[in-house]
A = this chain, B = another copy of it.
Amino acid sequence: MGHGGNIYEIEEKYNIPQNELIDYSANINPLGVPLALKQHIIKNIDTLINYPDPDYRELKTAIAKFHQLQIEDILLGNGAAEVLHAFIRTLKPQNALILQPSFSEYERALELVGTEVMEVYLKEENEFEVDVEAVMRQAEKGVDLIILCNPNNPTGRLIPRPQMIELLDFCEKRGIFLMVDEAFMDFADEENRLTLLQDYRNYQRLFVVRAFTKFFGVPGLRLGFGVTGNKEVIQALKRGSLPWHINSFAAGFGIVLKESNGYISDTYEWLRQEKEIFLQTLQQLKSLKVFKPDGNFILIKLTTDGINTTDLKEKMLEHKILIRECKSFKGLDERFFRVAIKDGATNRYFIEALKKSLGEWE
């Protein structure tokens, strides 16, 4: 399917054990599994003998409190992937507009329900910033749904708030649904954390998708949610929900949210320290064009002729580092790759490995 983070394929193909591989291809908080979650799992391991609460009251209450939402507006998901697929399957739009390059599951989900997909391409000359005017112009031709990833994966840019509000008003007026996937929003700098989670009540056509497991370092746990103030939509989504689709350990994630203050401040401390250094160091390297990231990952372009990411990936794997080639993203090619931001020591090791790999071409 071509997502990042496939360390199993690497183990099989390159004989690098999973626990030795340094995975820069998945954009996960390097602080790792929160202690509160580990304690919760170990303490409650025997409760696997029970079905999870089919209504997930405790979890929904914790999420509502953490993000200041109404419980009844929340749709839980077995990962954000289930949420976005459920929304698209329920809405079943005739025509939808997506950006390219972007997370490939939107297109896949739309194709599964037979939606005609229109695409607006982000332009390298604009640093892949989202041109909201272009989106609206295209949408005026007639779409039922617009899907945005904010910040966008893999290009990393956020849509500024004024433009997002303009788009929201446009959608509201024309009866176009707007799905905004904020999977990486929590990693944005504080002044730029432009979530729509506090706006959803004011827009009947807005559906916001969120993930917990990237920010809290636990993609293996599977937990995401969606939120909308549209009663008809949320009820249809809940009618279609599978029973017990959130496993017991993910259902207990509320304990992490309640005890998250230290983890969150540590995460922002890490990002504050490492993001700028990593970015600047990358920018100093020859052969690279580095795109400014609003989240916790960086899109990079190889600018020297004769170098491509397939070769670079192989060379980096000699250092047991996995990068995310971006040629599977529409609008990108063999010159683009994406890397996560990790802790300082690992980033320095990454830079050394990258220098050596690039140096071999010089």
Contact = CB atoms under 8 A, between A and B. Distances in A.
Nearest to A90: B112
Given A47-B220, A50-B26, A245 B82 contact: yes
A23 to B, nearest CB: 7
A239 interface: yes
Interface in A58-103: 58, 78-79, 81-82, 85
Given A242-B81, A244-B81, A220 B8 contact: no
A50 B5 contact: yes
B78 A49 contact: no
Report copies per complex: 2
A322 to B, nearest CB: 11
Given A3-B54, A54-B6, A57-B8, A49 B245 contact: no
A45 B38 contact: yes
Contact of A53 (B8, B38, B47, B58): B8
A10 to B, nearest CB: 11
Interface string A1-23: 10111111100100000100001
Nearest to A45: B38
A221 B1 contact: no
A220 B56 CA distance: 12
A161 B63 CA distance: 49
A53 B12 CA distance: 12
A217 B48 contact: yes
Interface stretch (A122-130, A247-255, A354-362): A247-255
A62 to B, nearest CB: 14
Interface string A202-220: 0000000000000001111
A162 interface: no
A175 interface: no
Contacts of A23: 50
B5 A218 contact: no
Contact of A242 (B18, B51, B57, B82): B82
A288 interface: no
B50 A244 contact: no
A75 B178 CA distance: 32
A88 to B, nearest CB: 12
Nearest to A19: B47
A142 interface: no
B220 A48 contact: yes
Contacts of A1: 54, 243
Contacts of A331: none
Given A42-B45, A112-B240, A50 B220 contact: yes
Contacts of A18: 47, 50
B49 A217 contact: yes
A239 B12 CA distance: 23
B243 A3 contact: yes
Contacts of A6: 51, 53-54
Contact of A247 (B12, B46, B105, B222): B222
Contacts of A37: 48
A43 to B, nearest CB: 11
12 contacts: A1-B243, A5-B50, A28-B50, A41-B41, A78-B78, A78-B242, A78-B245, A220-B247, A220-B249, A222-B245, A247-B250, A249-B249
The 6 closest A-B pairs by CB, nearest first: A220-B248, A8-B53, A48-B220, A5-B51, A48-B218, A222-B247
